[in-house]
């Protein structure tokens, strides 16, 4: 009988010197925020350090590694970019749903599925799913949310025991190896939702909130632009609008609420955002901040690096080699705005991911021989073995700053 990868549990194995690098600050923060108290972490630091703190570094005391569920989405002419993105973010512990929208051809989807099946490790762990019946997606319309919830529903049904959901598109790319992400997130409470958000609508009140749009993607078979109604609507009074980045890192428990909703708020907001321009920049944010069970779980950051070419932050810049040092020092897990096969992607592969062209990003689970012409991941071992790199230090610094007393509670749903 074949082993079921969706129910498999692995044990963490990591050397003490690597753990020492990141444990101290994160353990302090996690201990203090997990209770959701109104006091800040900084208020309680004085009594947190025990004389025998080193005892916490024993291997058997390490928290269990999390699992991530990814949605990698693209459109026509983006098969190559999605394939490269999958290779860069793949880890046997995680789950991946790949979606090429209806603008892409069936041949493109077949090519993507064949690629996934051609990878020995993916066949072994069976943790990559390619959506065969594609959704029509209008970039500025609510069909994006519908497609995202479609992927979430698949993950909830097919993949067990994942902790966070991450949505990426073909112009995203990782700045941190999966081993480092798993390492740092293993010390975080599993109920934190990373979403950049604000209720300060500014100019967006009149260009996003009040206008009424209709997305023809719901009833047409070909993509077209959204339709604008002549009428305007008022700002809602029964709930508060929040807007932010469309890139999110969301918990399984919150997304179960979005899909199954034990009260009517998820459906009410879904109906409202059906006529909202760029609804992915508001739906999850507004739902999180208007429900008492989730409003205290928000971390006001999307863990992405983005540069904008205008003060209103409407058009992200294309990232190139000149942005490399800045994006690395940001500590962000991902960056958004890469052109297809831009030279900066090769530098990220070489300097950060240690990934050779056409290969998966190596991690502690890869036990084969490495070299310029050898793929260490062709031979694989326990997915619970991780080898954090220097990237974990940068991510740790970012996370500790986000959970600091001056940034955490004071920036939640404001």
Question: What confidence tens digit (pLDDT) does each residue in 51-84 have?
Answer: 232 232 334 568 999 999 999 999 999 999 999 9
Given this model, what pLDDT does residue 314 score? 76
Write out the DSSP string of 38-80. SS-HHHHGGGT--TTGGGGGSGGGSPPP--EEEEEEE-TT-HH
pLDDT band for position 32 (cuts 50, 70, 90): very low
For 352, how many CA atoms within 13 A lie in the half-sphere containing its CB?
30
Averaged pLDDT for residues 28-47 = 38
What pLDDT, in 10s, does the model give residues 83-108? 999 999 999 999 999 999 999 999 99
User: 3-class DSSP state for residue 141?
Assistant: coil
Given this model, what pLDDT does residue 364 score? 96
Percent of the chain whose pLDDT exceeds 70: 85
Q: How far is residue 169's CA from residue 237's CA, in Å, rounded to a whole number?
A: 34
Tokens 């050779």 belong to 356
Given this model, what pLDDT does residue 1 score? 40
Domain edges within the chain: 68-198+245-402
Given this model, what pLDDT does residue 34 score? 42
Residue 219 β-bridge partners: none
Residue 130 β-bridge partners: 98
Q: How far is CA 176 from CA 73, 79, 187, 394, in A?
A: 20, 22, 17, 9
Given this model, what pLDDT does residue 295 score? 96
Tokens 């990373």 belong to 194
For 338, how many CA atoms within 13 A lie in the half-sphere containing its CB?
30
Given this model, what pLDDT does residue 11 score? 43
**Statement: 68-198+245-402 belongs to CATH 3.90.550:** yes
Comparing 19-33, 117-131, 243-257, the range with the smallest average pLDDT is: 19-33
Average pLDDT, the chain: 87
Q: How far is residue 131's CA from residue 116's CA, in Å, rounded to a whole number?
A: 12
Give Cα 62 distance to the centre of its chain: 23
Q: How far is residue 262's CA from residue 307's CA, in Å, rounded to a whole number?
A: 38
- pTM exceeds 0.85, yes or no: yes
Averaged pLDDT for residues 185-212 = 96
pLDDT band for position 372 (cuts 50, 70, 90): low
Q: Between the ranges 50-64, 181-195, 300-314, 361-375, where is the mean pLDDT highest? A: 181-195
Beta-carbon contacts of 89 under 8 Å, excluding residues fewer than 6 positions away, are: 70, 72, 96, 168, 174, 178, 361
State the CB neighbour count (10 A cutoff) for residue 20: 11
Beta-carbon contacts of 334 under 8 Å, excluding residues fewer than 6 positions away, are: 168, 172, 173, 174, 175, 176, 247, 303, 304, 305
Token reading at 325: 């040092």
Q: Are 33 and 412 in contact (CB under 8 A)?
A: no
What pLDDT, in 10s, does the model give residues 253-291? 999 999 999 899 999 999 999 999 999 999 999 999 999
Q: How far is residue 224's CA from residue 45's CA, in Å, rounded to a whole number?
A: 55
Token reading at 83: 């394939």
């Amino acid at each position: 009988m074949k082993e079921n990868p969706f129910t498999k549990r692995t044990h963490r194995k990591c050397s003490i010197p690597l753990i020492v690098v990141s444990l101290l600050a994160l353990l302090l923060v996690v201990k203090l925020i997990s209770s959701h108290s109104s006091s800040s972490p900084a208020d309680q630091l004085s009594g947190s350090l025990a004389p025998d703190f080193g005892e916490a570094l024993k291997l058997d005391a390490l928290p269990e590694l999390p699992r991530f569920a990814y949605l990698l989405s693209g459109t026509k002419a983006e098969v190559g970019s999605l394939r490269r993105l999958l290779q860069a973010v793949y880890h046997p512990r995680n789950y991946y749903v790949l979606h090429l929208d209806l603008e892409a051809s069936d041949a493109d989807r077949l090519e993507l599925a064949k690629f996934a099946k051609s990878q020995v490790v993916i066949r072994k762990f069976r943790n990559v799913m390619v959506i065969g019946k594609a959704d029509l997606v209008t970039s500025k319309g609510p069909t994006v949310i519908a497609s995202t919830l479609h992927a979430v529903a698949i993950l909830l049904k097919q993949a067990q025991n994942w902790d966070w959901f991450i949505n990426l598109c073909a112009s995203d790319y990782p700045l941190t190896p999966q081993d480092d992400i798993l390492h740092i997130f293993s010390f975080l409470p599993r109920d934190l939702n990373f979403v950049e958000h604000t209720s300060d609508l500014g100019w967006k009140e009149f260009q996003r909130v009040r206008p009424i749009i209709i997305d023809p993607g719901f009833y047409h078979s070909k993509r077209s632009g959204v339709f604008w109604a002549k009428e305007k609507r008022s700002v809602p009074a029964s709930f508060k609008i929040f807007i932010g980045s469309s890139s999110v890192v969301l918990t399984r428990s919150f997304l179960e609420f979005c899909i199954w909703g034990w009260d009517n708020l998820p459906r009410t907001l879904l109906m409202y955002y059906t006529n909202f321009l760029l609804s992915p920049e508001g739906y999850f944010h507004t739902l999180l901040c208007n429900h008492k069970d989730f409003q205290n779980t928000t971390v006001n950051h999307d863990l992405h690096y983005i540069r904008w070419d205008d003060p209103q932050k409407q058009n992200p810049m294309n990232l190139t080699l000149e942005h490399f040092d800045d994006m690395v020092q940001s500590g962000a897990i991902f960056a958004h705005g890469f052109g297809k096969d831009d030279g900066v992607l090769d530098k990220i592969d070489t300097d950060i991911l240690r990934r050779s062209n056409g290969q998966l990003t190596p991690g502690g689970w890869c036990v084969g021989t490495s070299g310029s012409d050898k793929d260490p991941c062709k031979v694989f071992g326990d997915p619970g073995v991780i080898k954090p790199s220097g990237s974990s230090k940068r991510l740790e610094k970012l996370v500790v700053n986000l959970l600091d007393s001056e940034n955490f509670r004071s920036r939640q749903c404001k």
